[in-house]
Chain A
């Protein structure tokens, strides 16, 4: 069975500081990893996925199979980054997403 762990429920940083939201996973096969974001009073939306290797809104995430991690990073936090972030895993060839418990990012001025 797959599992996604986000160890931090809340991460508070100052504007301009670097951000790293941790995500570790447990899955024996070849996973697809995603980061979803939920801004206040809005629906969940895809931020990025590991297969596209792109940077969205300054965020990047690298899949580290050795450490089974997919941490989300941004060099300089902005106030508008404050939101709930969920890491999710899709088993290779499967349909279902398994979500972590989420990390609330709060960017303070």
Chain B
């Protein structure tokens, strides 16, 4: 099946700094990628839909200035957590759908962010 790679898988940063998480589709092109956040023992909450070449669409309650999304190519989307605070600590997961394929979404392995 198609592969989505996230990097880094784990990151620890200091409060006030910014962290960038990359999501790459390795063997297919993805016009659309999705960013989720998962709290411990809870479900995946969609944060935003990343669209190649245009602005991301954010879900209600998600601060777009804090969670910057860039989707500059058909195989790469990035999520930057700006001015991170401890409450931003979470598991972030991206998924991508093959532009030329069906509705199946492929998921990255996730990024564990810890803000200290």
Q: Are B46 and A101 in contact, with the CB atoms below 8 A?
A: no
Does chain A have a CB within 8 A of B15? no
Residues of chain B lying within 8 A (CB to CB) of residue A30: none
Interface magnitude class on chain B: 20 to 34
Residues of chain B lying within 8 A (CB to CB) of residue A98: 46
Q: Are B93 and A44 in contact, with the CB atoms below 8 A?
A: yes
Closest chain A residue to B5, Cβ basis: A43
- Residues of B54-77 at the interface with A, using a CB-CB cut-off of 8 Å, are none
Q: Are B103 and A32 in contact, with the CB atoms below 8 A?
A: yes
CA distance A54 to B95 in the complex (A): 23
Residues of chain A lying within 8 A (CB to CB) of residue B44: 44, 86, 99
Q: Are B43 and A100 in contact, with the CB atoms below 8 A?
A: yes
CA distance A102 to B44 in the complex (A): 9
Residues of chain B lying within 8 A (CB to CB) of residue A86: 43-44
